[in-house]
Structure 1
Amino acid sequence: MSAQADGSLPVSQQSSLVRVRAVGLLTALATFVLDQGNKLWLIFGYGIAAHQPIHLAPFFDVIFLKNPGISYSLLTASSAFGRWALLVIALVATACLILWLWRTRLILTGFGLGLIIGGAVGNAADRLAYGYVADFYHFHVGSFSWYVFNLADVAICIGVGLLVLEGLTEKPRANDAAE
């Protein structure tokens, strides 16, 4: 990205950055709203705790699981200190992702980061409100059980996948060799 003599970016590059940031932030907001709306409806609107399990397919159920840890129930936090520590870690990670979003120039990266940020904030909101992350969707085959997840987890996985895809397919820029 080339700067002008005064150190500022040309208008076309500034508008491109604004567009990438807008895509990322709007994606994060939409992801958060969809995740929280889905959770609130399943918990309070539908009352999933009283109606579970809901068998949608021989390999897929909707259930209600209170996850006190992070993905795959790792780092389970059973104390108030542990829950707050996980919340702080999530917020620091989210701040780093927002900084990355602010610096990126690629729309696919902005979209992927928006998915991750929205999912991370959705799960952090659960931890803050309930002391756990609400998970619902359960894949299984016979007695083999895959993990239980929510829409925030789906968004995070898709976002990470997009970042990996972008990293594998991005062509090096001419000025990268000089840096």
Structure 2
Amino acid sequence: MKAHQEATHYVTPWFWWGLATAVATLDQGFKSIVERLFALGSTLPLSSFFNIVHARNTGAAFSFLAEAGGWQRYFFIAIALVVSVVLALLLRRAHPPSESLGYSLILGGAIGNLIDRSFRGYVVDYLDFYYQTWSWPAFNLADIAIVGGVLLLFLSSLSQPSPQAGRTG
């Protein structure tokens, strides 16, 4: 019975790799639109708490290491490559759907930002949320996919029994 339940959760790796590719492609599409339609530094207010902006980030989350002198670009490229390969290999095995979805989202986001760093030298950010004088740092769809994927993996880990559960010592 358990083998049958596990088999029903299995989806071919091509599905998950395709989802990651779709996330990266959609992310790149939005970034291209922002670069074509908006001057660097411009802002398009859409609500009392949200703008579309055109920003560049040479660092990581919250512009971490953005002013590091250029070496960080290659450092973040290397990290994204390693993470992408590991995740692509992990998706070759059967996992619960929530885990595979989490890995796929992280993979797609990593690839989206990897493409930016590799070909542009920076990551294009365009989503800007704020409240009065407080503003969250601008981000993009790839960042949303990475954070969403990590959140899914975290929630998935809470809902699954650990391999140690049920053992007596």
* TM-score bin, normalised by smaller chain: 0.7 to 0.9
2:27 is matched with which residue? 35
Written as runs of structure 1 = structure 2, the 5 A alignment for 1:1-179 is: 17=10, 19-44=11-36, 47-49=37-39, 52-76=42-66, 78-172=68-162, 177=167
1:105 offset after TM fit, Å? 2.0
1:68 offset after TM fit, Å? 0.4
Q: 1:11 to 1:142 in 2, by over 3 A?
A: closer
Larger radius of gyration between Structure 1 and Structure 2: 1
Structure with more of its chain in helix, by fraction: 1
What TM-score does the superposition give when structure 2 sets the normalisation length? 0.85
Question: Partners in 1 of 2:61 and 2:164 — Cα distance?
Answer: 39
Listed as ranges, the gaps of 5+ residues in structure 2 are none
1:48 offset after TM fit, Å? 1.1
Q: 1:32 to 1:14 in 2, by over 3 A?
A: same
Q: What is the DSSP-based 3-state SS (H/G/I as helix, E as strand, rest coil) of the residue aligned with 2:45?
A: strand
1:6 is matched with which residue? none
Give aligned-pair identity as a percent.
Answer: 32
Question: Partners in 1 of 2:166 and 2:107 — Cα distance?
Answer: 27
Listed as ranges, the gaps of 5+ residues in structure 1 are 3-9
Question: Partners in 1 of 2:41 and 2:162 — Cα distance?
Answer: 53
* Letter matched to residue 113 of structure 2: N
Question: Partners in 2 of 1:65 and 1:137 — Cα distance?
Answer: 9
Give the length in aligned residue pairs. 167
Q: 1:172 to 1:84 in 2, by over 3 A?
A: closer
* Letter matched to residue 107 of structure 1: P
